[in-house]
Amino acid sequence: MNTDDKNHVTANARRQSPNSDNVTARPLGQASRLWGGRFEKSTDAMINDFQASIDFDKRMYREDIEGSTAHAKMLAAQGIISDDDANKICAGLQKIREQIDAGEFEFSVELEDIHMNVEKALTDSIGAAGGRLHTARSRNDQVALDTHLYIRRQVREIQRLIAELQTALVNAAEKNSDVIMPGYTHLQRAQPILLAHHLLAYFSMLQRDFERFNGVYQRADIMPLGAGALAGTTLPIDREFVARELNFNAIYSNSLDAVSDRDYLLEFLAAASILMVHLSRFSEEIILWCSREFSFVELDDAHCTGSSMMPQKKNPDVPELVRGKTGRVIGHLTALLTTVKALPLAYNKDLQEDKEGVFDALDTVKFSLAVFAQIIDGMKIRRNNMRRAVEEDFSNATDLADYLVKKNLPFRQAHEVAGKLVHYCIERGVYLKDLSLTDFKKFSPLFDADIHDAIKPETCVAARNSLGGTSPQQVAAQISAARTIIDTQRKI
Ligand code: ARG
């Protein structure tokens, strides 16, 4: 779940460099470099390590091979290379893909990135035809293509996980549909609500996240290949062919923009950050609810850890970590915005810095969504404690005021009467429900025998039947709408 980078890579011959433990080094020499022609010296080993991206971009190998296959087919269809060469290229690429899938491919840091690792392996395996693959293409449009393909795929994966968490929420809401808890403002008990209503608030937030990722998908669904290094190509390529082959909805209309655009990654990180902020807010609540002070929920033993020193501890590490990891994802957004902000057109190597943050953000988001769904599924609701928190407080004071409003007292006066009654109770150490009708009548002649019923938690909740309110009727409508939404999302 953490990463889709399954590929094993040997570590034996790797030069010493700070954070690379899984890419082998070959001796550096002009001949093995795909751009070595104009150079007299070979690249300094440390410089090469510094600028290589293979450690992290190798996770885009499927997309790189998919993109190259489409490109080769297009070159042949346009008569730029022969059908025979294209067939050799496609078969060779397929073999490389299988090798990498099986963890049998040795990546080389000298070859810098996934693009040149694949191309070199192809040439090694099929000979001269391999050298024709990069015709009418630059790594600048190639990396853009790979990243578009990768993000497009990952966005759908994230959306699937969002829908799973939403399902867990709707299930929990349905299972606990009669549980009443205090709703809070300022973290002070405010009005009684259904727990289901609270859970469904997160459903709605996740729904917006889902839709935001649709936007990210749309912006990733534009085909950059054919931009060349920056200005297009002199060769008669067919960009529409490639777009069709790779199922892109649109094609970048400006080659400079195609190779420099990182908006879709910024949008991805923004959508990921907002999603994480939602999960973080929920985490904070779950952490509070698990505390002895609230005791509203208990997390499954399988989802918690203990303390090495304090034998009694059962810690909500998972929501804590989700809350903690949110900072990292926001950091990646800030980092990429900062990287891009003063970049001149078109490609600059700074743009290589887009990947690590994006990859880490998507791993973090996927992992967080998956564990969160488990937390919700396994969370035990302590309904009696929630109920007590409603009853042993004054969250029904608004209902008291509304009772008088319904008897035609202006709301401001009703508020005043209810406030005085609360004060009266606090002084005596009792709650509104404990007062007698005589007590009530001391504050207003409008009170009748039905007042006790009017301030019961069930009555308070049921009465909030305005559209989107917390009444069982409104919540049932939310649940059924949520189920329909989830069904539609599954079709995406
Ligand atoms: N590894 C590079 C990246 O991720 C690929 C593009 C390199 N292009 C170049 N002209 N150096 O951005």
Tell me the C-alpha distance between 43 and 26, whole Å. Answer: 12
Which pLDDT tens digit goes with each residue over 234-273? 999 999 999 999 999 999 999 999 999 999 999 999 999 9
Residue 81 phi, psi (nearest 5):
-130, 165
Q: How much is the pLDDT for 353?
A: 98
Q: Which domain CATH number covers 314?
A: 1.20.200.10
Number of domains in the chain: 3
- CA–centroid distance, 34 to ligand 1, in Å, is 13
State the pLDDT confidence band at 25, using cuts at 50, 70 and 90: low
- 331 and 290 belong to one structural domain: yes
Identify the residues whose C-beta falls under 6 Å from ligand 1. 53, 57, 113, 139-140, 143, 347, 349, 351-352
- 270 and 311 belong to one structural domain: yes
- 396 and 315 belong to one structural domain: no
Tell me the C-alpha distance between 89 and 66, whole Å. Answer: 12
- 460 and 364 belong to one structural domain: no
- 373 and 332 belong to one structural domain: yes
- CA–centroid distance, 153 to ligand 1, in Å, is 21
- 306 and 375 belong to one structural domain: yes
186: annotated active-site residue: yes
- Last residue within a domain, chosen from 349, 380, 411: 380
- 84 and 153 belong to one structural domain: no
- 179 and 297 belong to one structural domain: yes
Q: How much is the pLDDT for 32?
A: 66
Ligand 1 atom closest to 143 (CA): 5
Q: How much is the pLDDT for 15?
A: 39
Q: Which residue in the list 307, 423, 436, 480 is annotated as catalytic? A: 307
- Last residue within a domain, chosen from 345, 380, 415: 380
Q: How much is the pLDDT for 29?
A: 53
- 170 and 111 belong to one structural domain: no
- What does the pLDDT average to over 311-336? 94
DSSP assignment string, 403-446:
HHHHTT--HHHHHHHHHHHHHHHHHHT--GGGS-HHHHHHH-TT
Q: How much is the pLDDT for 301?
A: 82
Higher per-residue confidence, 19 vs 469: 469
Which of 48, 143, 147, 265 has the most ligand 1 atoms within 8 A of CB, as the residue to mutate? Answer: 143
- 122 and 157 belong to one structural domain: no
Q: How much is the pLDDT for 436?
A: 96
Which pLDDT tens digit goes with each residue over 139-152? 999 999 999 999 99
- 268 and 210 belong to one structural domain: yes
Q: How much is the pLDDT for 23?
A: 61
Q: Residue 135, Cα to own-chain centre: how many angstroms? A: 37
Tell me the C-alpha distance between 236 and 226, whole Å. Answer: 10
- What does the pLDDT average to over 39-57? 90
Q: Which domain CATH number covers 107?
A: 1.10.275.10
- What does the pLDDT average to over 379-398? 95
Q: How much is the pLDDT for 492?
A: 81
Ligand 1 atom closest to 355 (CA): 4
- Domain span at 475: 389-489
- Last residue within a domain, chosen from 380, 415, 447: 380
Q: How much is the pLDDT for 437?
A: 97
Which of 51, 140, 230 has the most ligand 1 atoms within 8 A of CB, as the residue to mutate? Answer: 140
**Portion of the chain with pLDDT greater than 70, in percent:** 93
Which pLDDT tens digit goes with each residue over 56-76? 999 999 999 999 999 999 999
Tell me the C-alpha distance between 58 and 74, whole Å. Answer: 24
307: annotated active-site residue: yes
**What average pLDDT is seen over the chain?**
93
* Residue with CA closest to ligand 1 atom 12: 352
Tell me the C-alpha distance between 372 and 322, whole Å. Answer: 8
Q: How much is the pLDDT for 37?
A: 81
* Residue with CA closest to ligand 1 atom 2: 352
Which pLDDT tens digit goes with each residue over 93-116? 999 999 999 999 999 999 999 999
Q: Which domain CATH number covers 394?
A: 1.10.40.30
Candidates 375, 360, 172; CA nearest to 265 is 360
- 190 and 267 belong to one structural domain: yes
Residue with tokens 């059908």: 83
pLDDT of 13 above 70: no
Determine contact, residues 132/73, Cβ cutoff 8 Å: no
Q: How much is the pLDDT for 309?
A: 80
pTM score above 0.85: yes
* Residue with CA closest to ligand 1 atom 4: 352
Ligand 1 atom closest to 113 (CA): 1
